[in-house]
């Protein structure tokens, strides 16, 4: 069976540091890949309308439907660190995962399939990524994706060394692509 991977891409730069690591991961990743750009997709933040409290469904219809599709084997979150956490656009997308809160799912009888998680993080060099990791963990939890700790790669000094020249990070990203491809 062909496996499917969703990549949530959190950089405004299509050819930046995060993209370099995503490209390396894709070199070894097999199956179908769906990408959502948190910056350029049409995704509204959660309006807290509370429709999902009973139905576990979102009232809004936009590009978030790609993330709501629950037929992925892998979820890759790839993002730069902005102000010590994920960029606002990524947090805005993440807010829409409120539909997947355990309480809402159990009330509606909905269940999520289990998926593998992988994380790509880049940062200029201030090494304050704890909050980014916390938010990444929230995203994966809400998507039913596990084990990002074993499939994560960081390039945290991009002010000095671009991720395109960070050979260790590029090699690790390729390794993660292979790990995600093991069924
Ligand atoms: C608004 C903004 C905030 C940032 N905040 C941080 C930060 O808190 N810590 C850090 O190490 N780098 C920070 N950076 C630097 C980016 O994380 C870094 O340049 C990253 O490699 C950019 O990745 P990209 O080329 O994929 O967009 C920030 C950059 C921007 C534009």
Q: Which atom of ligand 1 is nearest to the CA of 18?
A: 26
Q: Of 83, 90, 88, 81, nearest to 142 (Cα)?
A: 90
Atom 6 of ligand 1, residue of closest alpha carbon: 82
> Encoding tokens for residue 164?
């395109």
Total structural domains within the chain: 1
Range of the domain at 56: 4-181
Pocket test for ligand 1, best of 15, 123, 158, 170 (most atoms within 8 A of CB): 123
Q: Please report, in tens digits, the pLDDT of each residue of the chain (183 residues total).
A: 789 999 999 999 999 999 999 999 999 999 999 999 999 999 999 999 999 999 999 999 999 999 999 999 999 999 999 999 999 999 999 999 999 998 899 889 888 899 999 999 999 997 788 999 999 999 999 999 999 999 999 999 999 999 999 999 999 999 999 999 986
pTM: 0.97
Ligand 1: which residues within 6 Å by Cβ? 11, 13, 16-19, 80-84, 122-126, 128, 158
pLDDT of residue 30: 97
pLDDT of residue 82: 97
CATH of the domain at 25: 3.40.50.360
10 Å Cβ neighbour count for 183?
9
What does each C-alpha distance from 60 to 40, 47, 142, 148 come to in angstroms?
A: 17, 9, 18, 29
């Amino acid at each position: 069976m062909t496996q499917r991977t969703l990549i949530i891409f959190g950089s405004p730069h299509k050819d930046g540091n995060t993209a370099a690591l995503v490209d390396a991961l894709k070199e070894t990743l097999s199956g179908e890949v769906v990408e959502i750009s948190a910056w350029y997709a049409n995704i509204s933040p959660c309006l807290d309308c509370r429709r999902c409290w009973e139905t576990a469904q979102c009232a809004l219809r936009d590009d978030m439907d790609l993330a709501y599709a629950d037929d992925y084997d892998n979820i890759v979150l790839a993002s730069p660190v902005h102000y010590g956490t994920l960029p606002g656009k990524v947090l805005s997308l993440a807010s829409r995962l409120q539909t997947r809160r355990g309480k809402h799912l159990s009330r509606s009888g909905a269940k999520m399939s289990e998926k593998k998680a992988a994380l790509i993080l880049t940062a200029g060099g201030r090494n304050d990524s704890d909050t980014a990791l916390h938010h990444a963990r929230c995203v994966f939890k809400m998507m039913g994706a596990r084990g990002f700790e074993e499939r994560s790669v960081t390039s945290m000094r991009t002010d000095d060394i671009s991720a395109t020249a960070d050979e260790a990070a590029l090699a690790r990203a390729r390794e993660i692509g292979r790990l995600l491809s093991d069924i």
